[in-house]
Structure 1
Amino acid sequence: MGQGEASARGTTMEGDCLSCIKYLMFVFNFLIFLGGSFLLGVGVWVLVDPTGFREIVAANPLLFTGVYIILGMGGMLFLLGFLGCCGAIRENKCLLLLFFMLILLIFLAELAAAILAFIFREHLTREYFTKELKRHYQGYNNTDVFTSTWNAIMTTFDCCGVNSPEDFKDSLFRLINQNHMVPEACCQRASQTGDVAYISQEQCLSGSMMYRNNKGCYSAVVDYFELYIYVAGALAIVVLTIELFAMVFAMCLFRGIQ
């Protein structure tokens, strides 16, 4: 009798443990579902953002592709979270196994992306951008992707050059436009809503500091996106942790289902 009671108690504890894992997995997958929704929201925001960031993204094929990668990842996490929730509640082994394999692939892809970002971080320095600006920026050739991207950045963030307008000395821009000290995109505008309403374009192009934007774009962009960078980094760590726990719970639940 005592042995039977111990066996029944063990079965009850095992059932309680399985039930706990099931609901924990549901919670983690709901968080993944919310994370996917957030990424979808970020992707849509970039595409419809009225502040001008959309023009910067659209001018650069690499960034434009990145937006659709964010949308794709968001959609995949959205569906995976839904799939995991259904698998946990219904205790369906096929759904759980499919969920585990897909979330493992995403986890490895995100880990690889983080490692690559760390390895190539030196390409995001002031020196790198300054060298590229001097070598490739042409000023008024909007058919050139590099030039149009920089024009969009300087116009959107009211900045000039990477560090300052002095970056255009000894540059390709000065070689092509010898009478202009800075490009038109560096000139101060009379109205933030006007695309070509400059305070004094002629004096700006001749080098007058009073009529041009003197802040470098590197500082302007970093200041603008500083909060978002930290939030994105923290969110990435949280998402990876959630995915790791979700995989563990999915496998535990898979093995516990008879």
Structure 2
Amino acid sequence: MPEELPRRRAMEGDCLSCMKYLMFVLNFFIFLGGACLLGLGIWVMVDPTGFREIVAAKPLLFTGVYVLLAMGGLLFLHGFLGCCGAVRENKCLLLLFFLLTLLIFLAELSAAILAFIFRENLTREFFTKELTKRYQGDNDTDVFSATWNSVMITFGCCGVNGPEDFKLASVFRLLTLDSGEVPEACCRREPQSREGVLLSREECLQGKGLFLNKQGCYTVILNTFENYVYLAGALGIGVVAIELFAMIFAMCLFRGIQ
């Protein structure tokens, strides 16, 4: 019996050491990822070669840079707290790491619940209604219109169901008058990207099929991402599992530190 107590303590010490190094390695990669995202965001904001002006002129890109900075900063702080708390065996840092991980976990859980509740808003009818009511053509200062233009150019599609959606788009018809049946974002390009050359702008705007992307974006995007649904689900489950293990390791180390 007297020998069992030291042996048990030694086993507990080995388990804590294993948790400590696993937690350090995991959070070191999180720290590096956050540092890369943060560095990329800062570079875009201060780049003297003119990229900053391009980003500032596009509301979506401008918002994306701030999202990049926020994500990078959060991951950087998260990884730093985890690494330092594990190596230094600091209870305060471990507690902060646990609370931050818990907040991220709760935010992800809330987002999943909201996505499930509002899933009916992701229907074809909903997007069609919003497009016909709010789309303003080539107005890149309007975030909604700029988003749709980027989607249509990137995926080589037009409208939600097809070019016919723009016949009902009241704001678009009012702004363009008789200048075109469809927006320029619906025109075919070579290659099919924002930098691609329009095959024929005039004939496209007149609605001629050879120079116009006829397929609706809803079907194109659905087909594109259908193959990645299970991958995204698996990654989501993996991230949640890692976060749960990280919180368990943090609490075990917290309680094991004398």
TM range (shorter): 0.7 to 0.9
What is aligned with 2:154?
A: 156
Q: Is the alpha carbon distance of 1:195 and 1:104 closer, same or farther for their aligned partners in structure 2, counting shifts above 3 Å?
A: closer
Of 93, 96, 100, 1:95 maps to 93
CA positional deviation for 1:218: 2.3
Of 99, 102, 105, 1:104 maps to 102
Q: Secondary structure at the match of 1:4?
A: coil
* Aligned positions, number: 248
CA positional deviation for 1:182: 2.1
Report Cα offsets for 1:111-153 as digits up to 9, x if no partner. Answer: 2122222222222222111111112223354544433332333
Q: Is 1:238 aligned to 2:233, yes or no?
A: no
Q: Using the alignment, how far apart are the partners of 1:27 and 1:206 within structure 2?
A: 59
What is aligned with 1:130?
A: 128
Q: Is 1:253 aligned to 2:253, yes or no?
A: yes
Q: Secondary structure at the match of 2:137?
A: coil
Contact kept? 2:154, 2:194, Cα under 8 Å: no
Report Cα offsets for 1:68-88 as digits up to 9, x if no partner. Answer: 335423322232223212222
CA positional deviation for 1:247: 0.8
Q: Using the alignment, how far apart are the partners of 2:237 and 2:29 within structure 1?
A: 13
CA RMSD between the two structures:
3.7
| 1:19-38 → structure 2 map (5 Å cutoff) | 19-30=17-28, 32-33=30-31, 36=34
Q: Is the alpha carbon distance of 1:193 and 1:232 closer, same or farther for their aligned partners in structure 2, counting shifts above 3 Å?
A: closer
Q: Is the alpha carbon distance of 1:15 and 1:178 closer, same or farther for their aligned partners in structure 2, counting shifts above 3 Å?
A: same
* Structure 2: tracts of 5 or more residues without a match: 48-53
State which drifts further: 193-202 or 151-160.
193-202
* Structure 1: tracts of 5 or more residues without a match: 49-53
What is aligned with 1:17?
A: 15
Q: Is 1:121 aligned to 2:119, yes or no?
A: yes
Contact kept? 1:40, 1:75, Cα under 8 Å: yes
Q: Is the alpha carbon distance of 1:178 and 1:242 closer, same or farther for their aligned partners in structure 2, counting shifts above 3 Å?
A: same
What is aligned with 1:166?
A: 164
Q: Secondary structure at the match of 2:3?
A: helix
Q: Using the alignment, how far apart are the partners of 2:4 and 2:68 within structure 1?
A: 52
Q: Using the alignment, how far apart are the partners of 1:39 and 1:179 within structure 2?
A: 43
Contact kept? 1:162, 1:216, Cα under 8 Å: yes
Report Cα offsets for 1:218-253 as digits up to 9, x if no partner. Answer: 233445555666554433322221111111111111
Report Cα offsets for 1:80-116 as digits up to 9, x if no partner. Answer: 2232122222222222122112222222122212222
| 1:215-230 → structure 2 map (5 Å cutoff) | 215-224=215-224
Q: Secondary structure at the match of 1:161?
A: coil
Q: Is the alpha carbon distance of 1:167 and 1:111 closer, same or farther for their aligned partners in structure 2, counting shifts above 3 Å?
A: same
Q: Higher relative contact order at CA 8 Å, sep ≥6: structure 1 or structure 2?
A: 1
CA positional deviation for 1:196: 9.1
Of 63, 73, 76, 2:71 maps to 73
What is aligned with 1:51?
A: none
TM-score by length of 2: 0.76
Report Cα offsets for 1:187-206 as digits up to 9, x if no partner. Answer: 23466578695433333333
Contact kept? 1:33, 1:78, Cα under 8 Å: yes
Q: % of aligned pairs identical?
A: 64
Contact kept? 2:34, 2:71, Cα under 8 Å: yes
Contact kept? 1:161, 1:217, Cα under 8 Å: yes
Contact kept? 2:153, 2:192, Cα under 8 Å: no
Q: Using the alignment, how far apart are the partners of 2:237 and 2:35 within structure 1?
A: 17
Q: Using the alignment, how far apart are the partners of 2:188 and 2:15 within structure 1?
A: 66
